[in-house]
Amino acid sequence: MSAYREAVERVVRAALAEDAPWGDVTSEHLIPAEADATASIVARESGVFAGGAAVEAAFEQVDERIRITDLVDDGSAFGTGAVLARIEGPARGVLRGERIALNLAQRLSGVATLTARYVAAVEGSGVRIVDTRKTTPGLRMLERYAVRAGGGRNHRFSLSDAVMAKDNHLAVLAAQGIGTAEALRRLRSSLPHTTHIEVEVDRVEQIHEALEGGADTIMLDNFALDDLRAGVALIGGRAVVEASGGVTLETVAAIAATGVDVISVGALTHSVRALDLGLDIALRA
């Protein structure tokens, strides 16, 4: 089982336990045990789908007799009214799994849809749209998978993956009388050669020290467009240039045009709106 699927199974298990800690009192007392149901997940608006594994896990963990067919692929664009999956099996299980399946598919499809809009806005520029660590606690792997489903890329997954010296790190060092370049050189000497080092700067004047210290990536945080262009020119290909801070769909194309390599967008996960999906149970004649 892949790490992603393991994460999905874990998230769904916890969500189902939270949603029905002592069972589904409504369905278990209202719906006959022998009743079957046929249902469809239907799009109430257009978007890009993500979360197929979560849909499968939600129903399979409730009742392994539930069958899921016609599940669209993650990354698929769809229109209003599209059927994204069909579910058939014991009615109690379908009803119990419904909310968790929809909650996760709606959120992840929202992430994929928003990401696809950012990617489309910079099409042809060669700039990568990437996510950040501003994810929902416990859902990071799922949300970052959804970013990829929308055509985006991932930044470092966790604090353990790469060095990212941000403004607060540099402020602590400065209070100790340690300059950025000196700190980066010390850091480089103590790390494996494979470890990537990124430094965040919020003024053009800080770029020189980041370069002197050997940063692999320099993040230009909350720079105005003219300052972004100046920063790109100053770095001159000696490091990957990342733009970050306050990026919106209205501004992302102009940021991409400054020549940066990467644009990180926290909004892909921290401010996303869940897509409107519903589960419709078919009525028998």
- Which sequence positions are flagged as catalytic? 99, 134, 166, 200, 221
In the structure, what pLDDT confidence band is assigned to residue 283 with cuts at 50, 70 and 90?
low
Q: How many Å separate Cα 157 from the centre of its chain?
A: 10
* pLDDT given for residue 285 in this prediction: 43
Per the prediction, the chain carries an average pLDDT of 96
Dihedral sign (CA 180, 182, 184, 186): negative
Residue 108 CA to residue 142 CA, distance in Å, equals 7
* pLDDT given for residue 104 in this prediction: 98
Cα distances (Å, whole numbers) of residue 149 to 59, 115, 231, 266, 276: 22, 8, 31, 16, 18
What mean pLDDT do residues 91-106 have?
Answer: 97
**In terms of DSSP bridges, do strands 128-130 and 163-165 run parallel, antiparallel, or are they unpaired?**
unpaired
In the structure, what pLDDT confidence band is assigned to residue 1 with cuts at 50, 70 and 90?
confident
Contact yes or no for 48/76 (Cβ under 8 A)? yes
Contact yes or no for 57/72 (Cβ under 8 A)? no
Strands lying side by side in the sheet with 262-264: 128-130, 262-264, 240-244, 217-221, 197-201, 163-165
Dihedral sign (CA 14, 18, 21, 27): negative
Contact yes or no for 79/49 (Cβ under 8 A)? no
pLDDT in tens, 210-260: 999 999 999 999 999 999 999 999 999 999 999 999 999 999 999 999 999
Altogether, the residues listed in the chain come to a count of 285
In the structure, what pLDDT confidence band is assigned to residue 282 with cuts at 50, 70 and 90?
confident
Q: Please state the three-class secondary structure of the chain as a single string.
A: CCHHHHHHHHHHHHHHHHHCECECHHHHHHCCCCCEEEEEEEECCCEECCCHHHHHHHHHHHCCCCEEECCCCCCCEECCCCEEEEEEEEHHHHHHHHHHHHHHHHHHHHHHHHHHHHHHHCCCCCCEEECCCCCCCCCHHHHHHHHHHCCCECCCCCCCCCEEECHHHHHHHHHCCCCHHHHHHHHHHHCCCCCCEEEEECCHHHHHHHHHCCCCEEEEECCCHHHHHHHHHHHCCCCEEEEECCCCCCCHHHHHCCCCCEEECCHHHHCCCCCCEEEEECCCC
Quick one: what percent of the chain has pLDDT higher than 70?
99
In order of start, what are the domains of the chain with their CATH numbers?
3-118+272-281 (3.90.1170.20), 123-270 (3.20.20.70)
Least confident of 100-114, 172-186, 222-236, 262-276: 172-186
121, 139, 115, 129: which is closest to 244 by C-alpha?
129
Contact yes or no for 115/77 (Cβ under 8 A)? no
Q: What contacts 211, CB < 8 A, 6 or more positions away?
A: 218, 235, 238, 239
pLDDT in tens, 188-199: 999 999 999 999
